[in-house]
Amino acid sequence: MARFISKTVPTLSSFERGLGLGLKDVRELSAFMSDVLGIPYDHMPVSFFKRRLTNVFAKNNIRNVEHFKELLTSGDIKENIYHDFSVSITEMFRDPGFWRYLRSLLQNLSPGKTFTVWFPDASSGEEVFSFLILIAELNMLDRIKVICQHPSSRITEDIRKGILRNKNAEVNANNYIRIEGNGNFKDYYSLQDNIFVLNTYLLQNVETVTGHFLNTAINEPAGLIMFRNKMIYYDKEVSEKGIKTLTGKLSPGGLIAIGGKEKMPESTMSSFKCINEKERVFKKHGFDISWNNGN
């Protein structure tokens, strides 16, 4: 078989080598972070934890693990960790088929029905703002209260102000075309200092809560919980705990949406019926909310 003799060229260090942490280091450090911050970092996939920690170190000019522990204990970088550990959603109307399906469900709700939609882990505004545009086009803005929650106050503040910091205008606009919206995407936002700012009227019924959803639950039942691509950042144990927590806050007959490649933990399935396998939408047993397409 052929062999190739190449010149030797220095290479970039890979993301896995970023901090030079072994598995034992990861376990110790993630447990330490969980103790200090009260968020289950020790239940995240190892590869994910290392990537995000590399991100935190880079953004905060942290020299080494000891320096990190020092800052963490002093509380100086708590907010930065909440912010830099989270994964932005990167595009509005991700999975256009999901949004078309959600619209069809909302269209069939009983006239006058009001309810709450909860985004328990709103790591950036894309998903929330997509939802707001969707309900604006259905003239439902005044019927739906939207609660967005995240441990980072910077993130919840951005959402409250309608700010998107990712510059994916073209992707967002193309996805909007794919959901077959009935307006002009550019009419929903303005650019202020080159930053996307959602029009204020869309945010009229939005509330923000700062805190992790496992520790700080909302006070009212939700008719719809948007939890797409959140379990992928936790192991089975915390995913199951998370879904059980959310189920407790979901109205009978309410819906929960998860990511297209996520599975509902088996132990929680007795509470739900899957109403759309492809778009991963589940309906909690009961009839307080009548989703006509999902009965």
Binding footprint of another protein on the chain (CB under 8 A): 1-9, 11-12, 14-16, 23, 45-48, 51, 87-90, 94-97, 175, 178, 229, 231-233, 235-236, 239, 259-263
To another protein, the closest distance from the beta carbon of 174 in angstroms equals 8
Residue 221 vs 259, nearer CB to another protein: 259
Alpha-carbon distance of 291 to 117, in angstroms, equals 14
What is the nearest approach in angstroms of another protein to the Cβ of residue 23? Answer: 7
Closest CA to 120 of 250, 232, 280, 227: 227
Shortest Å distance, C-beta 30 to another protein: 13
Cβ-based nearer residue to another protein, 49 or 213: 49
Contacts of 76 (CB under 8 A, 6+ apart): none
Q: Which is nearer to another protein, 88 or 245 (CB)?
A: 88
* Residue position matching structure tokens 């109205």: 251
The token pair at 235 is 């192991």
DSSP letter for each residue of 170-201: HHHHHHHHHTT-SS-GGGGEEEETTEEEE-GG
Residue closer to another protein, measured from CB, 278 or 285: 278
Which DSSP helix (H) or strand (E) runs through 74? helix 65-74
For residue 109, the minimal CB distance to another protein (Å) is 27
Write the burial class of residue 215 (CB in 10 Å: 0-12 exposed, 13-18 middle, 19+ buried).
exposed
Asked if residues 264 and 258 have their Cβ atoms less than 8 Å apart, the reply is yes
**15 vs 287 by CB, closer to another protein:** 15
Q: How far is the CB of 176 from another protein (least distance, A)?
A: 12
CA atoms within 13 A on the CB side of 104: 13
Residue 71: helix, strand or coil by DSSP?
helix
Residue 212 C-beta: closest distance to another protein, Å: 19
Identity of the residue, 166 or 210, whose beta carbon is nearer to another protein in the bound complex: 166
Select 101 or 115, whichever has its Cβ closest to another protein.
Answer: 101
Q: State the minimum distance, in angstroms, from the CB of residue 101 to another protein.
A: 13
Query: Which helix or strand (DSSP H or E) is residue 33 part of?
Result: helix 23-37
